[in-house]
Amino acid sequence: MDNNSKAHFWFDVWTGKTPLKLYIPEDTWHDMPNKECTIQQAFSDPRSIHLQTALKFCPRHLLAQFLTTNDTKDTWIWCSTPNGQFSTKSVWSLLQPATSQKWSALWSPYIPLKWSILLWRMTLNSVPVDGTVKAKGVPLYSKCSCCPNPQEESVLHLFFRSNTANQVWADLSLLLQFNSMEVVTVADGVTSFLTHPELTTIARCLARCTFMVVLWEIWCSRNMARFQGQDMSAKHIINRTMLSICAISTSFKFQKMPHSWLTTLRQTRNGDQKLKVNIPTVVRWLTPPKGRLKLNVDGAFKKTSGEAGGGGILCDHKGNMCCAFAQAYHGLNSSLTAEALALRDGLLICCSRGVPEVLVETDSLNLL
């Protein structure tokens, strides 16, 4: 079928099991010009009598695979959905690059945003471990916090090769069907785990969550080691991971949990630790009723540095700001005190402005 071939379109067996000539009715065959044409010639013009006649009388599948041109790059124009209809959705999915699947695997309603963001950063190689910072041109000596014999800290090392990571992944390898040593590059490793084809099964869903929490907990543990001098512990990482998975499976009432997961999670539940994981919830700010103002206050306290501060904003029923304040507090020892001072200062401002009726909102349940 290449340019030099002398094979005949009608007489040679080049597709199927017989020459194409046998499919053509006698009267049509009789009127056919240039019966000796080569395959090349027949295909050179899509409107050629040979190709058109063959398409009309020969089984379609014999020709279908050859009906492309070799000299231009093929591109999709539009594809119908399996039921034969054309929809904007089918165009949209057609235009998505092949990589888009990994994004949809990253974001999901039952996955806390912080896990998704960490993994997203991992695929972009923007998690600020020593190796990444160094690669950006910042000269520094690197000493990882994850191994008894410290090595240079890279993303691959911290999350998949280090002493701590090895212990964690080894412990979970059966549940996750995952071997950290098979990860060659971080981006590919993360993506290929997340886009595993059986993503829809419950076991796979749990595996995906677990994979994400493990990475998150390793990152938290590394930061605690780096900035607060606490040792990294594989056991601690696994415990926290399982508590998160318990909380997620409870919140979202996963049905028909596989046996292996039930056993693991039951062991975790029976431990005396409290479930604590932040599942994202949508919080909306509502305007106060007409004629009333709303005061939102917040305070914060950083234990490690002793810094504290608070602020507030006063708004009317249309959401317009009437006034706002922010200030630092000194010599505090708890965030509750900071919250309380912010509330006091907010109320003082209301009093000084002659606002006697005010709705107050705070996120501190203790203060409330």
Choose between 37 and 146: whose C-beta lies nearer to Zn ion.
146
Choose between 187 and 225: whose C-beta lies nearer to Zn ion.
225
| Interface with Zn ion: number of residues (CB under 5 A) | 4
What does the per-residue mask of binding to Zn ion show for 105-144, with x meaning CB under 5 A? Answer: ---------------------------------------x
CB proximity list for 248: less than 8 A, separation 6 or greater: 110, 111, 209, 277, 279
Choose between 144 and 246: whose C-beta lies nearer to Zn ion.
144
Choose between 147 and 238: whose C-beta lies nearer to Zn ion.
147
**Residue 364 beta carbon to Zn ion: minimum distance, rounded to whole angstroms:** 39
Contact predicate 291/318, CB 8 Å: no
Distance CA 176, CA 22 (A): 58
Calculate the alpha carbon distances from 223 to 10, 162, 296, 307, 356 in Å: 74, 15, 32, 20, 47
Choose between 147 and 234: whose C-beta lies nearer to Zn ion.
147
**Residue 185 beta carbon to Zn ion: minimum distance, rounded to whole angstroms:** 18
Beta bridge partners of 295: 314, 360
**Residue 128 beta carbon to Zn ion: minimum distance, rounded to whole angstroms:** 16
What does the per-residue mask of binding to Zn ion show for 143-182, with x meaning CB under 5 A? Answer: -x-xx--------------x--------------------
**Residue 218 beta carbon to Zn ion: minimum distance, rounded to whole angstroms:** 11
Spell out the SS3 assignment of 254-289.
Answer: CCCCCHHHHHHHHHHHHCCCCCCCCCCCCCCCCCCC
Choose between 147 and 209: whose C-beta lies nearer to Zn ion.
147
232 binds Zn ion (CB under 5 A): no
CA proximity to 308, closest of 295, 317, 321, 299: 299
Residues that bind Zn ion (CB under 5 A): 144, 146-147, 162
